[in-house]
Amino acid sequence: MKFWKQLPYGWKVVFAFVFFFSATLGFAYFKARDTNPTLPIEALATTPTEAGTWKGHPKVVYFWATWCSVCKAYAPILDANLKFLPKGTMFLSVMESEDSDETKEILSKLSSDSPHPIYTADYRMLKEWRISAYPTTLFLNSEGKVIFADSGILSPIGFLIRTFLLRFF
């Protein structure tokens, strides 16, 4: 404890950040080990050609719902996070599929405004991918294995660290 008291304040802050991000990264890694779907993410693609272009690329898959207030609040942060995506990493936005007119209207409006395509997932897909909360962000390596799984809002630093580490898994 004497060592800690002698450290300058700046070093204490650095250690706190390193500890915090290491802990959240560890939780995301171990949560991902529980996600082992038999249905590939390529099942979301609208055409076989589109699914073929996804193969061999690391992916960030963002699951959300139209009724989710946290998802709405996270939207500007997510847009900032997407600037950290390394070249060759794909981003897939996946909305919970509801068979309502309101959802169809929202989807058509969002699809025209969004720089990324928006896919819909039914209950079976969500169950396979163990999506139990919104928003959920999954980080998949180039083989399609889930490396990190996070629920809730991801900070830009946490997002950057996870996308950077995808290269090594």
**pLDDT tens digits, 26-57:** 999 999 988 888 888 888 888 888 888 888 89
Distances (CA, A) of 158 to 6, 39, 101, 105, 135: 29, 27, 36, 33, 15
Q: What is the pLDDT of residue 163?
A: 92
Per-residue pLDDT of the chain (169 residues; tens, 9 = 90+): 687 788 888 888 988 888 988 899 899 999 998 888 888 888 888 888 888 888 889 999 999 988 889 998 998 999 888 988 888 899 999 998 776 666 667 666 665 566 778 888 888 889 999 999 999 999 999 999 999 999 999 989 899 999 999 988 8
Q: What is the pLDDT of residue 94?
A: 92
How many beta carbons lie within 10 A of that of residue 95, not counting itself? Answer: 22
User: In one letter, which amino acid is 137?
Assistant: T
Q: What is the pLDDT of residue 5?
A: 81
Q: What is the pLDDT of residue 2?
A: 80
Q: What is the pLDDT of residue 131?
A: 92
Domain count for the chain, please give it. 1
Core vs surface per residue 108-143: b (16+ CB within 10 A) or e: eeeeeeeeeebbebeeebbebbbbeebbbbbbbbee
Residue 32 near residue 147 (C-beta atoms within 8 A): yes
Q: What is the pLDDT of residue 21?
A: 86
Place of tokens 């171990």: 30
Structural domain boundaries enclosing 38: 2-168
CATH of the domain at 50: 3.40.30.10
Strands (E), the chain: 59-64, 90-96, 118-121, 136-140, 146-151
